[in-house]
Each structure stands twice: as structure tokens, then as C-alpha cells.
Amino acid sequence: MDLSTPLTYVKGVGPARAAMLEAKGLTAVEDLLGYVPFRYEDRSNVKTIAQLAPGEMATVMAEVVSSMASGFKRRKLGLFEARFSDASRAILVGKWFHGDYLAKVLTDGLRVALFGKVEFDNYTGELQMLHPEFEVLSEDGEGGEAGESALHVGRVVPIYEATGKLTTRILRTLIHRVLAELEPLEDPLPRFLLEPLKLPNRWTAIRQTHFPPPDSDLRLLNNFRSPAQFRLIFEEFFWLECGIALKRAKARSLPGIAFTLDDRVREQIKAMLPFKPTGAQRRVIQEIANDMKQPRPMNRLLQGDVGSGKTIVAAEAAVIAVENGYQVAVLAPTEILAAQHAVYFKQILSKLGYVTLLLTGSSSSREKTQLKKLLAEGLAHVALGTHALLEKDVEFHKLGLAIIDEQHRFGVLQRLGMVQKGVHPDVLVMTATPIPRTLSMTLYGDLDVSTIDELPPGRKPIVTKHATADAVEQVYSFLKRQVDEGRQAYVVYPVIEESESQAMKAAEQMYDHLSRLVFPDLAIGLMHGRLGADEKEAAMQRFKQGQTQILVSTTVIEVGVDVPNASVMVVEQAERFGLAQLHQLRGRVGRGAAQSYCILVTEKMNDAARQRIRTLVDSTDGFYIAEMDLKLRGPGEFFGTKQSGLPSLRVANILRDTEILEIARREAVSFVAGPAGDELRNAVAYIRDHWQRRYGLVMVG
Ligand code: ADP
Ligand code: MG
């Protein structure tokens, strides 16, 4: 048996269990070893019931004598009681509130291990445990092998996240079997790290993480900071950071375009700028220009909250490229955004005589052919578009700069796809999802980061209010007053058709409702994803030019849309939206001089939704909101692993283990930058092998 052995070869894993394991992403021995306990219990204090003393934490092994869910009042609480006894013949009562479901589990005669705090019930004079942890000892057929029953009690016991029939007990037994069969594993970490960081070797770390030695500190274990756990977390981060550092080094060793930035180019930029850039904008364009001058490809991330003015910075970079005789591609995630960029870039760049064009999925094929010809022959300077720009037959004459807007919507591969249209062009990616620095260094590890941390002048903070659906009339009359003062407004809905559930209002229906009944004398527009590109564009233009006063829309307007006169954003059924999404939506207003408002209308809220709404009402700081989002959703969902290119971590948790990530990052960077000896060569080979299997596509070295 070795790490790659399929779990079906492990004794006790039949087809049914194999399927359950696979559903959890566990197919090989290595996966199972990486499935670490999420908490531990000290079950070393094993007693008979007669020996129990009130106040202590203890484990007993006992049999169910009887059980009931009794009493009128109690039934309402769902109180479930089971009486247990053992060889000492004394009785222990286990009580579970809302425990009705246990009636089917804790049947008479069943043998279990109970773990919990012993209490004395003053009323009945009996010993009891409230909500004890328990594990069935006799039913699942495990524990029959010599020594295996000792795994579950009488020690610090690992608790695994179980699902359905795959109990913590089965997982514990299987992992123990695997550990018993395996030869001690080699340690792939460079040796020089082990000593100073006091890291146990890998084999020890894996075994002790699953089965902690008797003198283990339970508090450390449950905080994931035992030496063994620390080592595994460190290791995972270390390889990840090495991979990133190698990729970074490789990207920086490629020959790139050294753009010149002389007075003539500076004059052109000045002529193009429609307003005076903020200090932050000047600083980041300086950083970008410095990169562009280097004879190596730029790989830079430009982050800045919604409305911070990233677009004009991108336009400045575009001018540098075009003045040097190169073409520029601007990739946007949606047609609306691409179209809007196209209008914007055309408006400011045609002053300089540049030819811009827009290529999207809904361009007709005749149109496409023409556009592609212009690009291939170098007659167009700036191409804006959606994924359509990435298509194979889109060729550039001389692509020098690729700008990718709202990076979080694109995967790493798409970034590569864009880059391959030129010969090592410079790359500028832009995102409005600010994330903590350590995380951005990992997520965007191969990118340098520039941050716009200042809003354009004269912006008034957006006022955010929460309203419940029964107060929607007031919201509408507020809307009306704003429109009467010359402002415009968005009303956003979660879906476009009343499809899945009756509860969902449809934007189309609401458009009808609003335009006929609520605001019969206002001009209302409708925008949603199923309109054709021309219709979308037209609806957007009418709104931009003020011909429509209220735009009823789905979230297609979420990113990038820029209409400064719009000052009210009403989000209906706001409880259905995520935090980042709501922040993006809110970012559609507050772009002009007038005071702007965001009104979040909710129907039914759960706790999570309530927290999201509160976060938005309390803050307009994208940084804070992103952190809350990360906290509320957890790293997996927040990053959308596959999309972002961040590999899924097994043991480590990027939120919980930030300080270990920092250590690992520091070590990895100096290791990769160090002398290219055997250790580094081995590490590169190890990462390549490993990452292929675990992450598939990440390319290193
Ligand atoms: P985002 O960073 O969300 O992409 P945009 O680039 O769309 O932001 O800019 C938001 C709005 O602010 C636009 O209307 C833009 O013209 C305006 N803007 C950007 N920078 C400045 C500035 N320095 N002075 C005045 N207005 C600005
Ligand atoms: Mg933008």
C-alpha cells in the first residue's frame, strides 16, 4: 500500500463505502490521510457508571436500557431521554433537547460510548449527561479487530466530519488501518526547515494528527496548533507558495516589451484625460508605467473599490501601448460592461485618433469577420470585448497590452488565453474585490498589486437603508421624489422570470407593475440577461441619456455600469443576494455629485441574510465588506476555488491559519530565490508531480 493506492483496496471498504468516500472527494490513501479530524475529545477518563462523580468529564461504555420522549411540555421541547446501564448496574440518564430523531438511533440494547459532563439531577436524584457525545459500539461491525476498539475510547479521540452512514467511527477505523499498513513516509520538505521551525517529520505529523499521543494538549489540538497539525498546515502552504514563487520567477524571466514613455506619450495622456486624476490614480499609473518600461512582461493587479476610477487608469496604460505602436485588448465579463467600456474608450481615445472596436458573442458573423480583419491587419488599436475576444481565430497584428476587467469573473486559464494572442504582452488585471494582503499575495500570487485607495473628489458616501417589503410603498414614494428632482434610479430583482418558485418576483412582471400602476407618468426601462445585445445596449443608452428615469433590471448591471446621474439603487429581495454582489450593485450609484441612496428591501430573512444586510447598512468600505464576506461564507465559497485558480486546501484554512501562511510564504520565497541546488530541484519535481494530481492544471517550472 502506498499513498496512491485506491481506497477500495482498504479492508472494510466495499463498493457502498467507496462511493460514500468518493462523494467526499476521497479516492486514494493520500486523500484519506489528508482528511484530518475537525476536533478532538479527551476520552481518556473511562469509568463505570458507579464510579462517576458529578462535575467531571468522563466516558462510559454502556447499554441502552430504555428510552422515551415524554410529557406534554417536554414533547414540545422534543426532549428525548435514554437510560443507560453497564456492568456496575448503576443508571445514567442521557438527555437531548430536540432529540426526537434519536428514538430511531438509541434503541434498547444498543451499546454505546457516551462522553460528556456528569451532572446530578436534583429532582430525580439520578446522574445525567445533557447532550452527551455518543458513539455506537456494537452496530456498524467495526471494532471487531484486535486492538481497534481501543481507538474509540480511553484516549484523546479524533472526531471526523461524518456524513450519513460514513460515521466518525468508521473513518477513524479506516484511517487507523491505513496508517498501520503504510511504510513510514518520506519527508519531502527541505531538511533545513525542520529544525529551526521545530517541525516534526511528515510521518509523525500525519499519525499524531489523526491519533494524538497520550500527553497531547487538547486545547492546542482543538485550535489546530499542535506541532503535528502545524507541520501539516505549514507544509501545504509551503508547497503552494513555492509553486507561486516559481511561477512568478518564470513569468519575470520572459522577454517582454520595453515600452518607452517619453514627453510625447505623456502629452498624449494629458490630452486624453477628461479630469484630473486623484493622488491614488497617479500613484498606480506610475507603478504600471514603471512595469511597462521594463523589458519583461508586466503582470499587475489593479485593485480598487467600486467607483474608485480604475477605468481611466487602464486607458492611460492603453495610450502608452498604442503610442509605442502596439495594440490593446480589453476583456470584460459581460456584454453590457464590454459595450460600456467600448463607448467610454471610444469617447476618450478617438480624441487621439485611435480606432477602437467591440467584439462580443452577439456580433453578427459578418461583423465579426470584418472586426477580426481590422485586428489582424493592425488597423484597429484597441479591441474591447467579452469571451469572444478569446476565440482561436481572433488574431492581433501586434498585441502589446491585455487588460482584464473584473478579474474575479475570469479564470486563470482565460488570462493565459488572452496573453497567448501576443508575444509576452503586458497584462493588467483589474478587480473591485479587495482582499487582505496576505490573501491577495496567494490568490494573485504571480501578480504585483497596485491599489487605488481613494475615491474621486466630491463623492458623498452612499446612504444605505434597510426596508421590509411591507414598507415598499414608502420606498416607491421616496424614489418618485428623487426622480422628480432630476435623478435616476435602478430597481434590481434577483430573477427575470417567475420560474422556480412562486415567491420570486420577476423583473418583467415588476416592470409591468411599476410602469402601469406605481409610476404611470415616469419613463421606465427594462434590462435583463435574455435581451439581445442590441436591445441591452439600447436600453442602457436610453438610461444613460436620461430618456428612462427608472431602470428595472436583474443583476446584469451588477458590474461596471456607470451612469453618474443615477442616485438611487433599490434592491428587491435583497436577502437573496450575496454580500459582494450587493456591494457591487450599490456601487452603481454614488458616481455623481448628488447624494446617493441604496435601499435594500427584504422579505424573509434568516440570520445570515440579516448579517449581510447589517454589514452593508453599517459600511461602504469594500475592504471591510470583503473581509466580512470571507468570514461569513468561508474561503472555499468566497474564492470560488476553481474560478480563481486557488487550489483547494485540505488541512490548512486560509482564514484560520493566516499567520502560518505568512511564515510559509516567507520561507518559500527565500527558498526559491536561493541557490539552485538539489533540494530546490527535488522540490520543483515534487511540486510538479503533486500539483498535477491535486490541482490538475497549475503549471510550474
Ligand atoms: P471603477 O473603479 O468601479 O471601474 P470607474 O472607472 O467606472 O470606477 O469610475 C467611476 C466614475 O468616476 C466614472 O464616472 C469616472 O469617470 C469617474 N472618475 C474616475 N476618476 C475620476 C477623477 N479623478 N475625477 C473625477 N471623476 C473620476
Ligand atoms: Mg470598472
- Which ligand sits closest to the CA of 306? 1
Taking CA atoms only, the protein residue closest to ligand 1 atom 4 is 310
Pocket test for ligand 1, best of 312, 407, 430, 488 (most atoms within 8 A of CB): 312
The per-residue pLDDT for 420 is 80
Q: Which residues surround ligand 2, an ion (CB under 5 A)?
A: 560
Say yes or no: CB of residue 12 within 6 Å of ligand 1.
Answer: no
Can you read off the three cell numbers belonging to residue 131? 447532550
The per-residue pLDDT for 528 is 79
The per-residue pLDDT for 676 is 81
Can you read off the three cell numbers belonging to residue 71? 410529557
Beta strands in 432-499 (DSSP E): 448-452, 463-468, 488-492
The per-residue pLDDT for 375 is 95
| CB of 397 closer than 8 Å to CB of 425 | no
The architecture of the domain spanning 463-619 is 3-Layer(aba) Sandwich (3.40)
Domain ranges in the chain are 45-154, 184-326+398-457+644-701, 463-619
The per-residue pLDDT for 71 is 54
The per-residue pLDDT for 249 is 81
Q: How far is the CA of 383 from the centre of ligand 1 (A)?
A: 21
- Which ligand sits closest to the CA of 563? 1
DSSP annotation string for 504-541 = PPBHHHHHHHIIIII-TTS-EEEE-TTS-HHHHHHHHH
Say yes or no: CB of residue 403 within 6 Å of ligand 1.
Answer: no
Say yes or no: CB of residue 432 within 6 Å of ligand 1.
Answer: yes
Say yes or no: CB of residue 275 within 6 Å of ligand 1.
Answer: yes
Q: How far is the CA of 405 from the centre of ligand 2 (A)?
A: 7
| CB of 114 closer than 8 Å to CB of 62 | yes
Say yes or no: CB of residue 306 within 6 Å of ligand 1.
Answer: yes
Helices 658-673 and 227-253: angle between axes, nearest 10 degrees: 50
Q: How far is the CA of 453 from the centre of ligand 2 (A)?
A: 14
Say yes or no: CB of residue 494 within 6 Å of ligand 1.
Answer: no
| CB of 251 closer than 8 Å to CB of 245 | no
Where would I find the H helices in 10-81?
15-23, 29-33, 72-77
Say yes or no: CB of residue 303 within 6 Å of ligand 1.
Answer: no
Taking CA atoms only, the protein residue closest to ligand 1 atom 26 is 456
Q: How far is the CA of 239 from the centre of ligand 2 (A)?
A: 34
Q: How far is the CA of 387 from the centre of ligand 1 (A)?
A: 24
| CB of 295 closer than 8 Å to CB of 256 | yes
Taking CA atoms only, the protein residue closest to ligand 1 atom 25 is 456
Tell me, yes or no, if the two domains 184-326+398-457+644-701 and 463-619 fold the same way: yes
The architecture of the domain spanning 184-326+398-457+644-701 is 3-Layer(aba) Sandwich (3.40)
pTM for this model (two decimals): 0.70
The per-residue pLDDT for 385 is 93
Q: How far apart are CA 47 and CA 154, in angstroms?
A: 9
Taking CA atoms only, the protein residue closest to ligand 1 atom 5 is 309
Taking CA atoms only, the protein residue closest to ligand 1 atom 20 is 309
The per-residue pLDDT for 159 is 93
Say yes or no: CB of residue 310 within 6 Å of ligand 1.
Answer: yes
Angle at 269 between CA 266 and CA 273, to 5 degrees: 140
Q: How far is the CA of 310 from the centre of ligand 2 (A)?
A: 6
Residue 683 CA neighbour count, 13 Å, CB half:
27
| CB of 149 closer than 8 Å to CB of 116 | no
CATH superfamily of 45-154: Nucleic acid-binding proteins (2.40.50.140)
Say yes or no: CB of residue 562 within 6 Å of ligand 1.
Answer: yes
Say yes or no: CB of residue 599 within 6 Å of ligand 1.
Answer: no
Q: How far apart are CA 524 and CA 515, in angstroms?
A: 6
Q: How far is the CA of 314 from the centre of ligand 1 (A)?
A: 11
DSSP annotation string for 102-149 = GGGTS-TT-EEEEEEE-EEETTTTEEEEES-EEEESSSSSTT-STTGG
- Which ligand sits closest to the CA of 314? 1
Q: How far is the CA of 345 from the centre of ligand 2 (A)?
A: 12
The per-residue pLDDT for 605 is 87
- Which ligand sits closest to the CA of 334? 2
Q: How far apart are CA 612 and CA 610, in angstroms?
A: 5
Say yes or no: CB of residue 311 within 6 Å of ligand 1.
Answer: yes
The mean pLDDT values, 10 residues at a time, for the chain of 701 residues are 92 93 90 94 89 92 87 64 94 89 88 91 92 75 56 87 84 94 92 92 96 92 96 92 82 89 95 94 97 93 86 96 97 83 91 94 89 95 92 93 77 69 88 67 75 86 93 92 94 63 58 89 86 82 92 75 90 88 88 91 90 92 81 63 56 85 91 88 83 48 37
The per-residue pLDDT for 646 is 54
Q: How far is the CA of 456 from the centre of ligand 2 (A)?
A: 13
- The ligand 1 atom nearest the CA atom of 311: 6
Residue 462 has a CB neighbour count (10 Å cut-off) of: 21
Pocket test for ligand 1, best of 311, 433, 455 (most atoms within 8 A of CB): 311
- The ligand 1 atom nearest the CA atom of 458: 25
Q: How far is the CA of 587 from the centre of ligand 2 (A)?
A: 10
Residue 141 has a CB neighbour count (10 Å cut-off) of: 9
For 59, counting Cβ atoms within 10 Å of its Cβ (0-12 exposed, 13-18 middle, 19+ buried), the class is buried
Q: What DSSP character marks residue 605? A: -
Helices 310-323 and 279-293: angle between axes, nearest 10 degrees: 30
The per-residue pLDDT for 197 is 92
The per-residue pLDDT for 39 is 93
Residue 598 DSSP SS3: strand
The per-residue pLDDT for 698 is 43
Q: How far apart are CA 666 and CA 680, in angstroms?
A: 15
